[in-house]
């Protein structure tokens, strides 16, 4: 006899409920630049992921939360959302359709993609997740946990 169990992913965001987060673009986008955590905060790295997108494509809240910022940062349009799990999601470049202080639900339209992120050769969305000052791999929030079958020990007869 076998039973299905799920195995937790060993990621820094494994404490977030796996069903609480979704992708910021629909349909599920291609990751064109992966997360690359720097060894030290001041070293170069890629503190998020770049997702293939179309100019004007709707950007969705990945989870319930409160918009804490919607506006330009160094001339680039950015939206940031705080989530009850202690995580903050950021989206760039996004022309906001929400304002700071707005409550959003997973799937709420935050705005639209406004061109390409500096690390992309084509239009893309840069999606970041952080807990405090630590940047985390956002794709770990939306990966499905693998299902493993493992045998049950036979009951004594």
Residue 99 belongs to a domain:
yes
> What is the span of the domain harbouring residue 60?
2-151
Residue 83 belongs to a domain:
yes
In terms of Cβ atoms closer than 10 Å to its own Cβ (0-12, 13-18, 19+), residue 15 is exposed
Q: How many CA atoms lie within 13 A of 79 on its CB side?
A: 31
Q: What tokens were used for 16?
A: 């977030």
Residue 156 belongs to a domain:
no
CATH number, residue 115 = 2.70.70.10
Q: What tokens were used for 11?
A: 């990621």
Q: What is the pTM of this model?
A: 0.78
The structure tokens 């506006």 sit at 71
- C-alpha distances (whole Å) from 55 to each of 93, 94, 98, 106, 121 are 10, 10, 18, 22, 13
If one counts the domains in the chain, the total is: 1
Write out the chain's pLDDT in tens, 157 residues. Answer: 443 333 333 334 434 555 689 999 999 999 998 887 777 666 555 678 999 999 999 999 999 999 999 999 999 999 999 998 899 999 999 999 999 999 999 999 999 999 766 777 788 999 999 999 888 999 999 876 555 566 666 655 5
């Amino acid at each position: 006899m076998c039973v299905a169990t799920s195995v937790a992913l060993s990621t820094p965001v494994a404490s977030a409920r796996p069903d609480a987060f979704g992708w910021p673009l629909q349909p599920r986008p291609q990751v064109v630049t992966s997360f690359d955590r720097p060894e030290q905060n001041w070293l170069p790295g890629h503190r998020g992921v770049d997702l293939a997108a179309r100019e004007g494509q709707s950007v969705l809240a990945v989870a319930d939360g409160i918009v804490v910022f919607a506006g330009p940062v160094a001339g680039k349009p950015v939206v940031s959302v705080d989530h009850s799990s202690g995580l903050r999601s950021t989206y760039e470049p996004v022309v906001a359709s929400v304002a700071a202080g707005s409550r959003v639900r997973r799937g709420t339209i935050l705005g639209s993609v406004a061109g390409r992120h500096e690390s992309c050769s084509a239009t893309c969305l840069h999606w970041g997740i952080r807990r405090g000052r630590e940047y985390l791999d956002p794709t770990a929030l939306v990966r499905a946990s693998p299902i493993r079958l493992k045998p049950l020990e036979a009951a004594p007869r």
